[in-house]
Structure 1
Amino acid sequence: MSSLLIRNARPLPVRDGDVAPEGPVDVLVEQGRVIAVAPSLLRPPGVAEVNAGGRWLIPGLWDQHTHLAQWTLASQRLDLAGARSPEEVTRAVAERIAAYPDLPVVGWGHRSGGWDREVTVSELDAVSGDTAVVLISGDGHHAWLNTTALMHFAMPVRDSVVRETEWFAAYPRLVTLVGNDGTSPEAYRRMLDAAAAQGITGMADFEFGASREEWSERWTQGCDVLRIRWATYADTLDDVIAAGLRTGDPLAWDPRLTMGPLKIISDGSLNTRTAWCCEPYGDAHRLEYPAGQPNLDGAELRELFARANAAGLEVACHAIGDAAVEEALAAFAETGAGGSVEHVQMARRDGVRRLAELGIRASVQPAHLLDDRDLTERVWGERAERCFAFRWMLDDGADLVLGSDAPVSPLDPWLAMAAAVHRSADEREPWHGEQALTVREALAASVDGQPMVGPGSRGDLVLLDRNPLALEGDSAAVGAALREMASAYTVVAGVPVHDAL
């Protein structure tokens, strides 16, 4: 925690009811909290001072859903996000092996849900030989491995991809193939610094196979930059409960590193056709489970909810399909647990109302709609009008928060806000624009519930060169301008962590 005086800043009204000062003000932060906002403040002895130069001031931005080890590793992986067919992927793998014949290949980003056929292990074997190849889908819910990689992980040899729970269990063993240089403290620090440059002051980390000890150790090695909420999964839940940790408790001595929720992945994804739906997919004839499937049965789900709730932990329940959303809400209601539904990608209107009534957060990732638009129309058809239903959520009184699901989408809060406001990534009209947010609503959903900067608010602050609430033009112009936003100055708990003034 530190003290800081920011002079000549213009606080922006984030929520309805916020009233911005008529002119620039000074903002004093002491011990991690804003204690005074006024047109002119005396600088206390020993307090650092910075002149905002009339820039606009907002609360620190948050990304409420990340997988930070995977995001940190993504820059070292073979980028397959642009691949439009299995053949494009295998060509890229062959080229990588030709360039680096002694190294395993780890790829990220292909989206096979839009391809016209299933992929096979044998076609990957044909271009890879004895080189291990692991290609992780862009949604993170399946991986296309060759036989060498399957054998390395001691997994049954098959001619199909590895999906859902089997892949989540295998993912932590990837380090035995490629080492952990990509997740060194230095690599994490580069990622955290890049996030601070965007105005991010905090992130929820839902990394698979991680431990709280890893973050505590990393914290002492230069990664104490932003606020981090670390989530447990079922495999480390016993350890968390035995340690007496509740959501919000510090993991070490620093209140910026805290215990988050229990993360549960209750269903799959759209791309993998494993999101659990009330009705079959449009291409159900291709699928083993025509409407997708849950990863846990009802009893298993409720048992985890109840254990977490009894231990003082919130629950963050991944639910993409409408059936999964309804089952998650039933589990919240029956166990009394609190927390969030993560994604809420497709929901019925009564489900959205139920979410609001229960006081459960809707934790959504707007940039996913840019990637999933065409596939949604193809396999969910008229149900597309119930996808990414942000307007319903706000109108029904739900607590809406934004994130990225990085590396599924880029770790970029301005991209998330732009997607929520414009709902299109190309020249096409907004996709179901009736569900769009205003810029102020998107910003309010990105600041972890903080109001306009004022006495008592966190000392997590961001100075902007441009006022996002004053952007003009149609939603396409506003969205484009939002994507160009960045931080001029980022402060976490009174400590500057990014300075481009």
Structure 2
Amino acid sequence: MTECASPASVTAVRDDDRPAPLTLTGVRFGAGGPLAAVRVADGTITHVLPARDGDARDLGARGERVLDLDGRVLLPGLWDAHVHLADWANARHRLDLAGLASARRTADLVQRHGRQVPGDSVLFGYGFRDGLWPDAPHKGLLDAILPDRPVALVSGDLHAVWFNSACLALVGRGDHPTGLLREHEAHAALAALPAPPDDVVDARVADACRAAAARGVTGVIDFQFGDTVGDWERRAVRSRPAVRVAAAVYPSHLDAALARGLRTGSDIGGSGGAVRVGPLKLFTDGSLNTRTALCQDPYPGLEGTDHSHGIGETSPGDLVRLMRRAAAHGIEPAVHAIGDRANTLALDAFEAVRCRGRIEHAQLLSPEDLPRFAELGVIAGVQPRHATDDRDVADRHWAGRTGRAFAYADLLAAGARLEFGSDAPVAPLDPWRAIASAVSRTDDERPAWHPEQRLSVRDALVAAARGRRLVRVGDPADLVLVDADPLAADASGLRAMPVHATMTDGRWTHGPY
């Protein structure tokens, strides 16, 4: 769509700290769109005026500030609809293990880093992916290089940890046979490690939010493990984040949230709407890389084992019970489901409860489940970088089924609403990389992986903006200005899209203004 909305005006409640009204002229109205002017006041879009309707500068005739954007493209602000924000913020300060091809090479890198950064505190690394490794992670490999200093390595999908003996002893698991812990065991072990002080984490999170704003992000759904609502209440009291935040609730904190009368969308921390309560996060299974995603068919090589089909995290009965309780009090569920069996169970639960909500990941789907997303009104929260990052692992462990893996085009054709995220730190918090992966289905020189599942740039932009196609009168003033037209960009151009400025709630959060 390229047409502009008709000139109109709205009345918004004034917030004393809001900036003065502002008119943006000379903007390209959407990808491939015409020149237009947009007026912002009280955090809201109050006018959209096509350039052909006279001098757009008349919108600023009240003595308000007018900015000429010189033909830059104006888009709705982008969201990352699935982030583990504190994990991402901390991972930016940890040893990067991405791309290493074996356990031995990972241990060698840890050894070099340990020599360069000596000390006795826990040495953290992040990003190993052992799904294709020829050797297995084992505490003995790490003990041989750093026997006395605790080493904690977190997998790229956040579903496994690899500890040496010193680190196992630190969390009371000195008797663990391998040092490789998965799923609940991994999360409990990480939670038992000494955590950075709140002020350190909060400063890192604030910096990560500013970095996200620099890539056009105006909001995130934060699925950080723990008391996410409590953490964001503390941060919001201190300062307003550079992005909007919807803070997830985990089952261990559901009773407390309900006792306070919190609902999805409730303002927290006195933030004026910048920080709100998000969905209830529930799990049906694990992940592909750890071979714990719950599938209809067994994993090659695991046939006959207890977990040959993956791991079920929440029983169907408990899933329905928790969803029904939360929904009855206004908290919408977000259900993690990766394998095809897990997605069927999640959709069955939504059908039983009949509530709004989301399925996070939706990576492998049975054909008969595709239309159920639209029929049940369930949003598919997907991460396009996973499709390109995990194509080789999927080809091995989901052999013969990858035609229905990361099936974004099929979901869209079936009427589903897609919302893009990164799952940061699993992938970098950068919506343009997600858009490029969805459009190209490759992140390297190889041909597109299942090109039939590619999306158009327009559809990818909508999924990255939580369903917003154009800026319209009455919308929140959450905007991004880019220096190039996304419709004219190839995949590399999309990944490197130059973001000129970002505005959230009428406030510049990135750019020269």
Shorter chain as denominator, the TM-score bin is: over 0.9
State the 1:156 CA deviation: 5.6
Decide whether the 8 Å contact of 1:277 with 1:323 is kept in 2: yes
Decide whether the 8 Å contact of 1:13 with 1:451 is kept in 2: no
The equivalent residue for 1:399 is 417
The equivalent residue for 1:326 is 344
The equivalent residue for 1:463 is 481
The equivalent residue for 2:387 is 369
The equivalent residue for 2:111 is 94
- Equivalent runs, 1:43-442 vs 2, <5 Å: 43=60, 45=62, 47-102=64-119, 103-155=121-173, 157-160=175-178, 161-174=180-193, 176=194, 179=197, 182-184=200-202, 186-253=203-270, 254-285=272-303, 288-442=306-460
Q: Which amino acid aligns with 1:71?
A: W
* Aligned-partner Cα distance in 1 for 2:48–2:198: 45
Decide whether the 8 Å contact of 1:35 with 1:456 is kept in 2: yes
Decide whether the 8 Å contact of 1:5 with 1:26 is kept in 2: yes
How many pairs were matched up?
486
* Aligned-partner Cα distance in 2 for 1:486–1:62: 17
Decide whether the 8 Å contact of 1:355 with 1:361 is kept in 2: yes
Q: For 1:430-487, what per-residue CA distance to the aligned partner results, in whole angstroms no more than 9, with x for missing partners?
A: 000001000000001011222311211220011111110233xxxxxx2111011031
State the 1:404 CA deviation: 0.3
Name the CA shift for 1:48/1:263 in 2 (closer, same or farther; >3 Å).
farther
Moved more, 432-441 or 28-37: 28-37
Q: For 1:22-68, what per-residue CA distance to the aligned partner results, in whole angstroms no more than 9, with x for missing partners?
A: 4x222111111101011313326574432211111000000000000
State the 1:155 CA deviation: 3.2
Q: For 1:161-195, what per-residue CA distance to the aligned partner results, in whole angstroms no more than 9, with x for missing partners?
A: 11111222333333x155556513x3222211111
Pairing 1:493–2:505 present: yes
* Aligned-partner Cα distance in 2 for 1:188–1:223: 12
3-state SS in 2 of match to 1:114: coil
Name the CA shift for 1:288/1:93 in 2 (closer, same or farther; >3 Å).
farther
Q: CA RMSD in A?
A: 1.8
Q: Which amino acid aligns with 2:47?
A: A
Q: Which amino acid aligns with 1:172?
A: A
Decide whether the 8 Å contact of 2:237 with 2:269 is kept in 1: no
Q: For 1:356-398, what per-residue CA distance to the aligned partner results, in whole angstroms no more than 9, with x for missing partners?
A: 2111000000001121111111111110111000011110000
State the 1:285 CA deviation: 4.4
State the 1:293 CA deviation: 1.5
* Aligned-partner Cα distance in 2 for 1:378–1:126: 31
State the 1:121 CA deviation: 1.8
3-state SS in 2 of match to 1:65: strand
Counterpart pick for 2:45 among 30, 34, 43? 34
3-state SS in 2 of match to 1:127: coil
Structure 1 unpaired stretches of 5+: 15-19, 472-477
* Aligned-partner Cα distance in 2 for 1:402–1:193: 19
3-state SS in 2 of match to 1:415: helix
Name the CA shift for 1:12/1:461 in 2 (closer, same or farther; >3 Å).
same
* Aligned-partner Cα distance in 2 for 1:180–1:251: 18
3-state SS in 1 of match to 2:499: coil
* Aligned-partner Cα distance in 1 for 2:195–2:305: 31
* Aligned-partner Cα distance in 1 for 2:108–2:304: 26
* Aligned-partner Cα distance in 2 for 1:179–1:90: 28
3-state SS in 2 of match to 1:481: helix
State the 1:281 CA deviation: 1.1
* Aligned-partner Cα distance in 1 for 2:342–2:466: 25
* Aligned-partner Cα distance in 2 for 1:224–1:4: 22
Q: Which amino acid aligns with 1:218?
A: R
* Aligned-partner Cα distance in 2 for 1:362–1:330: 15
3-state SS in 2 of match to 1:159: coil
Structure 2 unpaired stretches of 5+: 1-17
Moved more, 119-128 or 282-291: 282-291
Decide whether the 8 Å contact of 1:29 with 1:459 is kept in 2: yes
3-state SS in 2 of match to 1:450: coil
* Aligned-partner Cα distance in 2 for 1:42–1:12: 20
* Aligned-partner Cα distance in 1 for 2:413–2:253: 37
3-state SS in 1 of match to 2:342: helix
Name the CA shift for 1:397/1:306 in 2 (closer, same or farther; >3 Å).
same
Decide whether the 8 Å contact of 2:86 with 2:201 is kept in 1: yes
* Aligned-partner Cα distance in 2 for 1:298–1:324: 10
Decide whether the 8 Å contact of 1:105 with 1:132 is kept in 2: yes
Moved more, 359-368 or 451-460: 451-460
* Aligned-partner Cα distance in 2 for 1:134–1:179: 18
Q: For 1:80-139, what per-residue CA distance to the aligned partner results, in whole angstroms no more than 9, with x for missing partners?
A: 112111101111122222223313210100001111233222222222212111100000
* Aligned-partner Cα distance in 1 for 2:43–2:219: 14
State the 1:427 CA deviation: 1.6
- Equivalent runs, 1:443-462 vs 2, <5 Å: 443-462=461-480
State the 1:298 CA deviation: 1.4
State the 1:159 CA deviation: 2.1
Decide whether the 8 Å contact of 1:321 with 1:345 is kept in 2: yes
Name the CA shift for 1:27/1:402 in 2 (closer, same or farther; >3 Å).
same
State the 1:231 CA deviation: 0.3
State the 1:296 CA deviation: 1.4
* Aligned-partner Cα distance in 2 for 1:62–1:9: 21
Name the CA shift for 1:171/1:42 in 2 (closer, same or farther; >3 Å).
same
State the identity %.
39
Q: Which amino acid aligns with 2:319?
A: L
